[in-house]
Structure 1
Amino acid sequence: MVLLRSLPATLPILFVCEISFLLGHGLIMTLLGVRMSLEGFPSQMAGLLMSSFSLGFVLGSYFIEKRIRSVGHIRVFAACAAMLAVTAMLHGIWINPWAWLVWRVAGGAATAGLLMVMESWVSGESTNDNRGKVLGWYLVISTMSLAGGQWMLNLADPATSVLFSVAGMLFALSLVPLSIHRIHGPSSSNHDVAHKIKLRELYKRAPVGLVGAFTGGLMAQAFFAMTPFYGQEIGLSTQQTAQFMAITTMVALVAQWTLGRVSDRIDRRKVILCMAAVMAATGAFISVAAGYSYLALLVVACLHTAMLHTLYSLSLAHTNDWLEPEEVIAANSKLMIWYGIGSVIGPFSASLVMQVVGPEGLWLFLGGAALSLAVYVSVYLLARRRRRVDREVEVEQEPYAPLPIIETSHYINELDPRFEPHQLEFDFAHLDIGVDDSDQAESEEVSAQASVP
C-alpha cells in the first residue's frame, strides 16, 4: 500500500474496483466452460456462446464510448457493473443455451464498457512522471485478479447456481468504492488529438503487426473460451481445471517481461516468428502430454500460453515502431478491431474442430493458427529480403511495454511510456509560451495585421 500512496488518490480506488470486477470476470469465464460441459452442451454450441461474448464486446466498444462522453465515467461504470451482475445470476436461474447466448452478448458489451471506463480513467489520471509505474500496476493487478477469479471455481460445486451468484456479487461490489468516495472523472486524455491512419496504410507499414493482432484474438479467445470445456471433456477435476486456467494465465506476467526484453534487441518480426513456431510445435505435442500426465500437460500448456498471451502486445509494439506518436491511438484502435474480429471467429471455429476430432481439436486449432502465422511471417521476411530494390527503410525499435492479457480498448495505449517525449514536448511548449490557445491566436492575428502594408 505504501507504493500505491505515490499514485494519484483516484487510482487506488479504481484498482480496487478493477480487482472486484476481474475476479468476477475470471470466475464466470471459467465457470461457463465447465458448466456447459456438465450440462452436456455440444462443443459447437459452447463455442457459439463464447463467440457471442466477443461479439458483444466489439459492439460495446463502438457504442458505449459515446455514452461515456455523454453522461460520464461513473454512470457508465455503474450501469455496466449492474448489467454484468444481472446477467451473471441469470445464467444460474435459466439453464438454456439460447438464453445464455443473449446474456453473453449483453455481458460482452458491459465488459467492454467497464474496461473502457477504467482504462480511459487510469490514463487520464496518469502523468509523464508516473505513467510507467501506473502501467506496471495495471498489468500486475489485472493478471493476478483474473487468475484469482479462476481459482475461485473451487469455492462451490459448479453444477449449482452458487458460483454464478458469487460472480454477480463481485460485479456488484465493484461499484462500492466509487459510490462511497467523492472522486472526479479523468482529468486529461490525449485521445481527442489522435491523427487518423487508413487501414491500407497501416498494413503497408506493419503487416506482421496487423496479422499478429488478428491471430492473437483468434487464439486467445479460443483458449479462454474452450479450455475449461476441454478440461472437463478429458476428465480433469474442477480443482485441476481451475488450477490449470490460473497458472497458464499467471505465466503471462513472466513471459511478457522476458519476451519483451528480447524483442527490444532483436527484430520483433523474428521474435513473433519464433513464438508462432513454438506455439505450433506445442499445439501438436500437447495432446500427447495430456495422455502422459497432468503435470506434463500443464508444463507444455504454460510454454504455449506464454507465447500466446504475449502475441498481441508484441504485435502492438511492432506496429508502434512504424508509427508517428500522434498516429498511435488511431492505429491501435484498428488493431483492436482486428483483434476483436479474431476473438469472434476463434471460439466457434475451435469448437467446430473439437466437434470433428474430439477435445484435442482445441490444441490442433491453436497450433494450426500459429503455424499459419509462422508461414505468413516467414514468407514476408523472405520476400522482403529479396525485394532489395524497394530499399525498405529500417526503424529504431522503441522499448517494449507489456499489456494486460484481458480484452482491452485503445485507451490503455495512452499509458505507454514510450511516447512520453512527444507529450513532454507539448507541455514544455505550453509552458514556454505562457499563454493559452486563445491568447496565442489573438497574438498571431495582430502580427498578421501588422505585416499588411
Structure 2
Amino acid sequence: MVKLTRMFKSLLPLTALFVGSAFLLFAGGLNGLILPLRGQFEGFSAASLGLLGTGWAIGYVAGCLRTPALVSKVGHIRAFGVMCAMAAITVLLSLIFLTPYVWIPLRALSGFCFAGAAMIVESWLNERTESASRGRVFGIYTMVNLAATTCGQMVLTMGDARGFLFFVVAAVFYCMALLPTALSATSTPTALVSVSLDLRALWRNSPIAVFAVLMVGISNSTFGTLAAVYGARVGLTTSEIALFASIPILAGAAAQVPIGMLSDRKDRRLVLIGTGIVALMADLVFIFGGMTQPVLLIANVAVFGAAVFAMYPVIVAHANDHAQPGSFIQISGGLLLIYGIGSILGPTTAGFAMTSFGPQSLFMTTAFAHVLLLVFAVVRLRARASLPSAAKGAFQVSPIARASTPETAALAAGAPLDEGRRD
C-alpha cells in the first residue's frame, strides 16, 4: 500500500503531460486514418494517397531535426501551442480543400507539428522523472500512446467518414492537447535532444541495423498509410477497416515482450530473421490467398502486425549491443531518422503500384522489403559472430517507430539530461 501511494504521488505531477499526450495521439490516430478513407471516397488515386504518407514522413523527420532549435528560441509552451494549433488547422483545411494537391503539403505540415509536439511532451517527462521511476513512467507513457492511437482509429466505427464530423473531432483533440500543459504548474524543461544523422558511424556500428531499419520503415509506413485504401478496395466496411488498421498495432505491441525476451537469449539477428519470415508468410497470404472474408483478413493482418511492429525495437537493441557506452540516444535517434527515410520511400512506391496493379501491390511492396531484409540478415549472420548473452543490453519495449522521436530514446535510456548533444 505504501509503495502504491508513493507511485501515485510520483505520477500525479505528470498527469497533465500524460493527458496532453493522449489527446495528441488520439487526434493523430484519427487524422491518419480518416484522410485515406475520405480520399478513397472522393476518388483519389492510390498513388496520391501514398504520397500522403510520404508527406507525413518528410514533415515528421523535419520536425525531429528542427524542433530543438525552435524551442530554444521561443520556449516549450509557446512552441507546443503553435504545434498543436497548426496541426488542428491542417485537419480543418483538409476538410475545406478536398484535393490531394492541398492534402499532401498539409500532411507534411501535420507531420512536422506532430513530431514537434511529441518531442516537447517527452522532454517534459524526461525532466520531471526521477531515475528510479523512469522505467515505470516510460511504460505508462507507451501504454497511454498506444491506447490513445487505437481509440482515435476505432472512433471511426461510430459514424460516416464521408461527412465533416471526424475532421472536426480530430481538430478539437489537437486543441485539447494544449490545455493540460498550458494550465499545468510544471516547470518547463531544459533544451531538447538534438540528433544528427551520421550514416558512416551507424554503418560501422551495425550494418544490419541500418539496412533492416530502412526496410522496416518502407514496410511499416506502407501499411500504415495505405491499409485503409487496401481495406476499402477489397470490400471491407468502415468498421472493419478501422479494425484492420488498429489490430496489427495492438498485436505488435503485445508481441514485443516475448520477442524481446527471446532476443535477449538468442542472437537478435536470428530473431529478426524469424519475425521477417513470419511477416513474409503473411504478405504471401495476402498476395496469393484470395481471401475476402473480413475475419480471415483481420486474423492474417494481426499476424502481420505482430511480426512487423516488433522488429524495430529488436533492431535498436541489436545496434546498441555493439555501440559505445553512452551513445544510446545517438544510435536510436539516428536509426529513427533512417526509418523516416524508409517511410518516405515506401508509401510512394506502393501507392503508384496500387494505382497500376491493384490493392495486392501494397503487400507486394512489403514482401519485397522483407525479402531484402532476410537476405541481408543472412549475409551479416555469416560475416559477424554473435554476441554472448552477457554482453547484451536489456531489450527495451518501445512505442511504434512512427510515433517515436529522439526524445523517446532519451526517456527510454534513463540517461541524464546532459548525455548526448543538446541545443
Show CA shifts across 1:2-57 (max 9, x none).
78624354321100001111111101111111111111111111111221111111
1:236 aligns with 2:236: yes
1:51 aligns with 2:46: no
Match of 1:343 in 2: 343
Query: Quick check: 2:227–2:244 contact (8 Å CA) kept in 1?
Result: no
Higher mean Cα deviation, 408-417 or 341-350?
408-417
Show CA shifts across 1:200-239 (max 9, x none).
2321221111112212211111111000111111110001
Query: Quick check: 1:197–1:327 contact (8 Å CA) kept in 2?
Result: no
| CA distance in structure 1 between the aligned counterparts of 2:216 and 2:139, rounded to whole angstroms | 21
Match of 2:404 in 1: 408
For residue 263 of structure 1, report the CA deviation from its aligned partner: 0.7
Name the SS for the 2:132 alignment partner: coil
Match of 1:117 in 2: 120
| CA distance in structure 2 between the aligned counterparts of 1:315 and 1:295, rounded to whole angstroms | 31
For residue 299 of structure 1, report the CA deviation from its aligned partner: 1.3
| CA distance in structure 2 between the aligned counterparts of 1:181 and 1:61, rounded to whole angstroms | 24
For residue 187 of structure 1, report the CA deviation from its aligned partner: 6.2
Higher mean Cα deviation, 214-223 or 11-20?
214-223
| CA distance in structure 2 between the aligned counterparts of 1:248 and 1:289, rounded to whole angstroms | 19
1:40 aligns with 2:40: no
1:26 aligns with 2:29: yes
For residue 147 of structure 1, report the CA deviation from its aligned partner: 0.6
1:399 aligns with 2:402: no
Name the SS for the 2:327 alignment partner: helix
Match of 1:434 in 2: none
Query: Quick check: 1:125–1:188 contact (8 Å CA) kept in 2?
Result: no
| CA distance in structure 2 between the aligned counterparts of 1:156 and 1:198, rounded to whole angstroms | 46
Match of 2:100 in 1: 97
Match of 2:258 in 1: 258
Match of 1:68 in 2: 71
1:87 aligns with 2:90: yes
| CA distance in structure 1 between the aligned counterparts of 2:8 and 2:155, rounded to whole angstroms | 29
| CA distance in structure 1 between the aligned counterparts of 2:355 and 2:296, rounded to whole angstroms | 25
Query: Quick check: 1:354–1:360 contact (8 Å CA) kept in 2?
Result: yes
Residue 161 of structure 1: which of 164, 172, 195 is its match?
Answer: 164
| CA distance in structure 2 between the aligned counterparts of 1:158 and 1:188, rounded to whole angstroms | 40
Match of 1:214 in 2: 214
For residue 129 of structure 1, report the CA deviation from its aligned partner: 0.2
Q: Please, which runs of 5 or more residues in structure 1 have no aligned partner?
A: 386-391, 427-453
Query: Quick check: 1:197–1:331 contact (8 Å CA) kept in 2?
Result: no
Higher mean Cα deviation, 371-380 or 287-296?
287-296
Change (3 A) 1:297 1:138: same
Name the SS for the 1:325 alignment partner: coil
| CA distance in structure 1 between the aligned counterparts of 2:366 and 2:5, rounded to whole angstroms | 42
Amino acid at match of 1:286: F
Greater gyration radius: 1
| CA distance in structure 1 between the aligned counterparts of 2:62 and 2:189, rounded to whole angstroms | 24
Aligned residues: 413
| CA distance in structure 2 between the aligned counterparts of 1:4 and 1:146, rounded to whole angstroms | 25
Amino acid at match of 1:383: A
For residue 67 of structure 1, report the CA deviation from its aligned partner: 1.1
Match of 2:184 in 1: 181
Match of 2:376 in 1: 376
Query: Quick check: 1:4–1:12 contact (8 Å CA) kept in 2?
Result: no
| CA distance in structure 2 between the aligned counterparts of 1:262 and 1:158, rounded to whole angstroms | 41
Name the SS for the 1:264 alignment partner: helix
Amino acid at match of 1:131: R
| CA distance in structure 2 between the aligned counterparts of 1:177 and 1:201, rounded to whole angstroms | 40
1:248 aligns with 2:248: yes
Query: Quick check: 2:156–2:238 contact (8 Å CA) kept in 1?
Result: yes
Show CA shifts across 1:118-174 (max 9, x none).
122212222220111011101111111111100011232111111101100010011
Show CA shifts across 1:164-200 (max 9, x none).
01100010011111222222112698x58x9x99532
Q: TM-score, normalised by structure 2?
A: 0.92
1:267 aligns with 2:267: yes
Query: Quick check: 2:60–2:112 contact (8 Å CA) kept in 1?
Result: yes
| CA distance in structure 1 between the aligned counterparts of 2:286 and 2:387, rounded to whole angstroms | 40
Query: Quick check: 2:72–2:191 contact (8 Å CA) kept in 1?
Result: no
Give the aligned CA root-mean-square deviation in angstroms. Answer: 2.3
Change (3 A) 1:326 1:287: same
| CA distance in structure 1 between the aligned counterparts of 2:384 and 2:314, rounded to whole angstroms | 20
Change (3 A) 1:292 1:198: closer
Q: Please, which runs of 5 or more residues in structure 2 have no aligned partner?
A: none
Query: Quick check: 1:44–1:348 contact (8 Å CA) kept in 2?
Result: yes
Amino acid at match of 1:396: A
Show CA shifts across 1:89-119 (max 9, x none).
1111111110111211111110111111112
Amino acid at match of 1:369: A
Amino acid at match of 1:401: Q
Name the SS for the 2:44 alignment partner: coil
Show CA shifts across 1:261-297 (max 9, x none).
1111111111111111111111011245562521111
| CA distance in structure 2 between the aligned counterparts of 1:6 and 1:378, rounded to whole angstroms | 49
Change (3 A) 1:264 1:184: same
Name the SS for the 2:394 alignment partner: coil
Q: How does 1:261-410 map to 2 (within 5 A)?
A: 261-289=261-289, 291-384=291-384, 396-405=391-400, 406-410=402-406
| CA distance in structure 1 between the aligned counterparts of 2:141 and 2:180, rounded to whole angstroms | 17
Q: TM-score, normalised by structure 1?
A: 0.86
Query: Quick check: 1:255–1:306 contact (8 Å CA) kept in 2?
Result: yes
Change (3 A) 1:4 1:349: farther
